[in-house]
Amino acid sequence: MSKFPKEFLWGGAIAANQYEGAHKAGGKGLGPIDYLPNKENGRIYAMYHPDEAVKKDYGYYPSHEAVDGYHYYKEDIKMFGEMGFKCLRLSISWPRIYPTGEEDKPNEEGLKFYDDLFDECHKYGIEPVVTLNHFDTPMALYEKYNGWESRKLIKLFENYAKAVFERYKEKVKYWLTFNEINILLVLPYMGGSMSINDAENPLQLQYQAAHHQLVASALATKIAHEVNPNNMVGCMLAAGETYPNTCNPQDIWAAKELDREGFFFIDIQVRGKYPSYSKRIFKEHNINLDIRDEDYEALKHTVDYVGFSYYSTKVATGDKELEKKLESEKTDGNIYASLQNPYLERTQWGWIVDPFGLRITMNTIYDRYQLPLFVVENGLGAKDTIVDNQIHDDYRVEYLSSHIEAVADTIEDGVEVMGYTPWGCIDLISAGTGQMSKRYGFIYVDLDDEGSGTRKRLKKDSFNWYKKVIASNGEDL
Ligand code: P53
């Protein structure tokens, strides 16, 4: 018997800025990703120095055409349908709807595009799961207001959210507000802020921007429920438990503190108020937030479920000397770097592979919030090779099946799980590196790191494997 509930939402996940391309089509405004170069031209550096980066002409920008989902979506959704997807997580590009963020009326061409896209999903019985902001705040708002550092963004986001909730009332029921909202503290430019690196007290600006997003997220949740009481709105955390490097209490504390950095956001989105530990953190870092009475009211509009991405766990130490010594040996991972974990393997990009960690992470989150969880990102970024027009990606199948097994165990632990949408169900541009060669998909896209290729689609072996997984409701792994 399958451990997964009958209505379990199997699917996949993509995001506008990494999938669609067509960065100026239909009146679209630009977003932050449109200014980031590929890895060879220093994408990581640019993410930390956006002021410098936006002035440069890098020649090639991976997001501008991406995998051309804007023109291929019918073909792609048909293939998702063939795999039996019950849902598709995708994002609406805010600058497609409000090119500068401040227009009086939404851009009809942008709205129409998503209308057609959602219709296409429903043709195959695929329920859209829609992220309102996946690294996609209109660039004009970065330039004019330093993005989310400004309170102005709250109202502008509300307008945008209201426009799409009303427009897609009959077509979309599942929403997520901000993708990996905790990214603001790690990669502020991706999260929606501009000038943080030169600031005297960067954390002051980051937490103020976070506050504005949290209020905006709560107000969007309120509107979603008013527009349609059946709407389900989730928050979205870049998750992954932090393990202590040893059983030294200092290490335990360091791990707890790092996890709280992310839980800070979700505590507010789920509980409707600031967590008690935030006072001490603000005091330690000399942070004084502008929080108004109306904000406290707004925050009371809490989410219906907790969405999260999971790629790996991380390891922390409270020993400052050791931390410094190991700095250069740290391994990359989804937004956070980590000390090595000697018990676990790593991917070609150095990310720790830890399926059991998914069960641990989900149990922690559920114990904390007792809300349904939705695994809205998980997956293996790997190089694929084509042999005789085939791609034998058994490594991807192994990664995903072990993680799905962990989700099944978590369900047996008593955790409510709504669904599972592996990241990049079709190959797309990597957020962290801008590479095409870091592939996650069941569907291969013919495109390389420099933007050359036909963008033709090709099924990988994992395509038929996932189809079987869905057909058996997670039994046949
Ligand atoms: P990639 C980096 C920067 C921003 C978001 O990551 C990230 C990461 C991870 O390095 O996290 C999420 O493409 C994000 C997706 C992203 C995915 O992880 O760097 O929500 O947009 O593509 C995977 O391999």
ipTM value, please give it: 0.95
What pLDDT, on the 0 to 100 scale, is given for residue 43? 94
Tell me, in angstroms, the distance from the centre of ligand 1 to residue 297's CA. 33
Residue 427 near ligand 1, beta carbon < 6 Å: no
What pLDDT, on the 0 to 100 scale, is given for residue 328? 87
Mean pLDDT of 416-440: 98
Kindly indicate the confidence band of residue 374, based on its pLDDT and cuts at 50, 70 and 90: very high
Question: Pairing relation of β-strands 443-445 and 457-459?
Answer: antiparallel
Identify the weakest region by mean pLDDT among 94-98, 258-262, 314-318, 336-340: 336-340
Tell me, in angstroms, the distance from the centre of ligand 1 to residue 429's CA. 10
Tell me what percent of the residues of the chain surpass a pLDDT of 90: 95
Q: Identify whether 3 is part of a domain.
A: no
Q: Identify whether 229 is part of a domain.
A: yes
Q: Identify whether 2 is part of a domain.
A: no
For residues 229 and 308, what is the distance between their CA atoms, to the nearest angstrom?
23
Pocket test for ligand 1, best of 14, 430, 438 (most atoms within 8 A of CB): 430
What pLDDT, on the 0 to 100 scale, is given for residue 337? 86
Q: Identify whether 183 is part of a domain.
A: yes
* Residue 433 and residue 46 in contact, taking contact as beta carbons nearer than 8 Å: no
Residue 190 near ligand 1, beta carbon < 6 Å: yes
What pLDDT, on the 0 to 100 scale, is given for residue 201? 94
CATH at residue 296: 3.20.20.80
Kindly indicate the confidence band of residue 329, based on its pLDDT and cuts at 50, 70 and 90: confident
Kindly indicate the confidence band of residue 260, based on its pLDDT and cuts at 50, 70 and 90: very high
What is the value of pTM for the model shown? 0.97
Q: Identify whether 4 is part of a domain.
A: no
Number of domains the chain is built from: 1
Q: Identify whether 1 is part of a domain.
A: no
Residue with CA nearest ligand 1 atom 12: 334
Name residues whose C-beta falls within 8 Å of residue 325's C-beta, 6 or more positions apart in sequence.
none
Kindly indicate the confidence band of residue 335, based on its pLDDT and cuts at 50, 70 and 90: confident
What pLDDT, on the 0 to 100 scale, is given for residue 194? 83
What pLDDT, on the 0 to 100 scale, is given for residue 196? 78
H-helix or E-strand spanning residue 121: helix 108-123
| Residue 355 domain boundaries | 9-471
Mean pLDDT of 315-319: 96
Q: Identify whether 342 is part of a domain.
A: yes
Q: Identify whether 476 is part of a domain.
A: no
For residues 217 and 214, what is the distance between their CA atoms, to the nearest angstrom?
5
